[in-house]
């Protein structure tokens, strides 16, 4: 579970997204290049939003022995449990894929779920941290899908 937790972080997802986008671009597939770039954007938004929330909330990790679980703004990583950045980033990344292609995205669904279990197993997060992070990731994916993946047909705007 340590390795799953380690490889479930955003740099590994970002590298995978870059490689996939590069392959799609090299093959001249604009649709999949756009999807993979959208996955990277969702990953970045979820990571940034999760980081801001972590620092603002300051919830202690399960491994930290403290009287108060919620401590307010804090820059120490011991107090960055809520939400799980690993889960938020992974969920956002693969949720965009699910929204673009249900069949392929569904096959990748076990990845963020396994990462969530690994983060709880290594005592880095509580269940609520993982669940809220998954919700954050899904919201980021929906946001990116609405703004970047929808291809508007200019002629359809004039039809009633």
| Residue 155 placed within a domain | no
Residue 123 has pLDDT above 60, yes or no: yes
| Residue 82 placed within a domain | yes
- Burial (0-12, 13-18, 19+ Cβ within 10 Å), 5: buried
| Residue 160 placed within a domain | no
Sign of CA dihedral 93, 96, 101, 107: positive
| Residue 157 placed within a domain | no
Token pair belonging to 112: 């963020």
- Gap between the Cα atoms of 86 and 138, Å rounded: 13
Give the pLDDT confidence score for residue 105 in this predicted structure. 87
Token pair belonging to 39: 């996955």
| Residue 154 placed within a domain | no
Residue 76 has pLDDT above 60, yes or no: no
For residue range 34-60, list pLDDT tens digits in order. Answer: 999 999 999 999 989 988 888 777 777
Give the pLDDT confidence score for residue 160 in this predicted structure. 41
Angle 30-57/127-144 helices, nearest 10 degrees?
140
Q: How confident is the model at residue 73 (pLDDT cuts 50, 70, 90)?
A: low
User: In the predicted model, what is the mean pLDDT of residues 106-111?
Assistant: 89
Q: Which domain holds residue 130?
A: 2-147
Tally the domains of the chain. 1
Give the pLDDT confidence score for residue 70 in this predicted structure. 55
| Residue 141 placed within a domain | yes
| Residue 70 placed within a domain | yes
Q: How confident is the model at residue 9 (pLDDT cuts 50, 70, 90)?
A: confident
User: In the predicted model, what is the mean pLDDT of residues 75-87?
Assistant: 72
Q: How confident is the model at residue 159 (pLDDT cuts 50, 70, 90)?
A: very low
pTM: 0.79
- Gap between the Cα atoms of 38 and 29, Å rounded: 14
Q: What is the mean pLDDT of the chain?
A: 81
| Residue 156 placed within a domain | no
Contact in structure between 133 and 87 (CB atoms under 8 Å): yes
Contact in structure between 141 and 95 (CB atoms under 8 Å): yes
Residue 26 has pLDDT above 90, yes or no: yes
Residues 90, 95, 99: CA angle, nearest 5 degrees: 160
Token pair belonging to 85: 């950045």
Residue 102 has pLDDT above 90, yes or no: no
Contact in structure between 139 and 89 (CB atoms under 8 Å): no
């Amino acid at each position: 579970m340590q390795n799953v937790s380690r490889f479930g972080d955003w740099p590994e997802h970002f590298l995978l997204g870059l490689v996939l986008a590069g392959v799609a671009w090299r093959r001249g597939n604009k649709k999949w290049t756009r999807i993979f770039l959208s996955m990277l954007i969702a990953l970045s938004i979820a990571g940034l939003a999760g980081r801001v929330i972590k620092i603002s909330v300051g919830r202690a990790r399960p491994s930290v022995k403290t009287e108060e679980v919620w401590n307010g703004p804090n820059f120490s990583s011991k107090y960055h449990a809520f939400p799980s950045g690993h889960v938020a980033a992974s969920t956002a990344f693969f949720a965009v894929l699910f929204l673009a292609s249900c069949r392929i995205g569904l096959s990748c669904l076990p990845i963020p779920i396994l990462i969530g279990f690994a983060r709880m197993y290594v005592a880095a997060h509580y269940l609520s941290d993982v669940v809220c992070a998954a919700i954050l990731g899904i919201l980021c994916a929906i946001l990116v899908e609405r703004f970047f993946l929808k291809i508007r047909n200019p002629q359809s705007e004039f039809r009633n």
